Amino acid sequence: MTATIALVDDDRNILTSVSIALQTEGFLTRVYSDGESALKALVDNPPDLAVLDIKMPKMDGLELLRRLREKSAIPVIFLTSKDDELDEALGLAMGADDYIAKPFSQRLLIARIRAILRRTETAQPSTEEGAQEPAEILERGRLTMDPARHRVTWGGTNVTLTVTEFLILETLAQRPGIVKTRNQLMDAAYQDDIYVDDRTIDSHIKRVRRKFRQVDPDFDAIETLYGAGYRFSDE
């Protein structure tokens, strides 16, 4: 099935060039020139992935993502200015799956899009004959993860995670008590030799903790071992 990519940027040249490049690679595209016009469309008719610029008039990318995450967990890639490290950190903390600094290579953007879409597909149940059985439900203490339905609960209450957050938590929960380094978590969440730095993983972990603490203020199942990595405790 052909994936649909939404592009939100106030730079018409970027919208046109990236849209053409994605269509050449076989994607369907929708383009929006500001956050306000994009928000309703992304919620009412969700694409498979959205690429959002941060610096936009009317509603910037950070505000668009904040509002979008209230209603949707679609994968999001941020486009940021080269030196805007604060924006990158904020975007990841708010639930973006990845970011790319401008000016960017279209080949890199397409590779990141394909990688995230492949991760998204692993969370979808397959009905094709001969296909692999969906992954088993994972239960660790109060945590339940259903990969086939991309569903997470804590003590029976739903917790909405992005694809990247889900994969990081699943990697930790599969072996409680075992420390996972940042590199191991990067390998689980970012495949195909795509490099991300330590701050990206740390930001995703902070976001996951924040979401669980909205359900349970005493949530402390993800432990930080400074200088080593993270581990999940189901005690």
Q: What is the pLDDT of residues 14-30, one digit of tens each?
A: 999 999 999 999 999 99
CATH class given for the domain over 138-232: mainly alpha
User: Domain-by-domain residue ranges, the chain?
Assistant: 4-123, 138-232
Cα pseudo-dihedral 162, 165, 138, 193, rounded to 10: 110
The pLDDT of residue 133? 52
Task: Give CA separation, 55 vs 33, 42, 51, 217, in Å.
Answer: 11, 18, 13, 34
The pLDDT of residue 132? 47
What are 24-82's pLDDT values in tens digits? Answer: 999 999 999 988 889 999 999 999 999 999 888 888 888 998 899 888 888 999 887 75
Q: In whole numbers, what is the pLDDT of the chain averaged over residues? A: 83
For helices 85-93 and 198-215, what crossing angle results, to 10°?
40
Q: Which CATH number fits domain 4-123: 3.40.50.10490, 3.20.10.10, 3.40.50.2300, 3.30.710.10?
A: 3.40.50.2300
What are 159-216's pLDDT values in tens digits? Answer: 988 778 888 999 999 999 999 998 888 877 765 545 555 677 888 899 899 999 999 9
**Encoded amino acid at 102, one letter:** K
- State the CB neighbour count (10 A cutoff) for residue 141: 14
**Residues forming beta bridges with residue 145, ordered by sequence position:** 138, 152
In 70-135, alpha helices (H): 85-93, 106-121
